[in-house]
């Protein structure tokens, strides 16, 4: 039995939803969440994850949209450990057909799904459950000077955070409330080739 399966998160060819398999017996189950060789085969790229992050959020918390600019950009592999989130990604790569497009997916602790996100994307999520805990692996270390925030409510992107959430009141940090617009990031040369 295969350990991992993948599908594309449309409209992107390289943002992947990776499903892990649970192996059940009378004791419960076992699941392999990360295998460098398998993930590299699925993604078609060599990725060295150097930092693991963990966040815990209460219902209605909206985090993002975050990314690190070059040369500290990050590939990410994330999964929900507990709860449910609406996960959103935005393509910031100016040379791609999908530049400026976004996609969303609901990830849960029971779906056995991980999201692989190559560098060049902004990422954020909205907590849909009472509490959500998210674990993510990063291919580059956190760098305060290259940390950027794309405003979650950008008018050009017009992300519909409420379509799948039924949440009216968001809890958003001051840093995220002060994120830059898509146009401002482009004018400042902070997007990706």
| Catalytic residue set | 66, 136
| Cα 82 from Cα 85, distance rounded (Å) | 10
CA distance 89 to 124: 7
Q: Tally Cβ neighbours within 10 Å of residue 110.
A: 8
Q: Which residues of 13-29 are buried (b: 16+ CB within 10 A; e: fewer)?
A: ebbbbbebeeeeeeeee
User: Other C-beta atoms within 10 Å of 193: how many?
Assistant: 8
**Which of 11, 49, 57, 17 has its CA nearest to residue 176?**
57
């Amino acid at each position: 039995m295969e350990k991992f399966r993948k599908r594309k998160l449309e409209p992107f060819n390289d943002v992947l939803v990776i499903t892990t398999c649970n192996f059940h017996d009378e004791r419960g189950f076992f699941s392999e969440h990360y295998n460098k060789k398998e993930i590299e085969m699925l993604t078609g790229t060599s990725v060295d994850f150097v930092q693991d992050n963990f966040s815990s959020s209460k219902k209605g918390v909206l985090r993002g949209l975050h990314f690190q600019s070059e040369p500290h950009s990050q590939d990410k592999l994330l999964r929900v450990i507990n709860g449910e989130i609406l996960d959103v990604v935005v393509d910031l790569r100016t040379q791609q057909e999908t530049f400026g497009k976004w996609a969303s997916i609901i990830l849960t602790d029971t779906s056995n799904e991980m999201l692989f996100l190559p560098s060049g994307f902004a990422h954020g999520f909205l907590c849909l459950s009472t509490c959500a805990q998210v674990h993510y692996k990063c291919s580059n270390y956190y760098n305060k000077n290259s940390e950027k925030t794309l405003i979650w409510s950008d008018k050009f992107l017009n992300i519909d955070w409420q379509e799948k959430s039924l949440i009216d009141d968001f809890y958003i940090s001051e840093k995220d409330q002060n994120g830059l617009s898509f146009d401002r990031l482009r004018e400042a040369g902070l997007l990706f080739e």
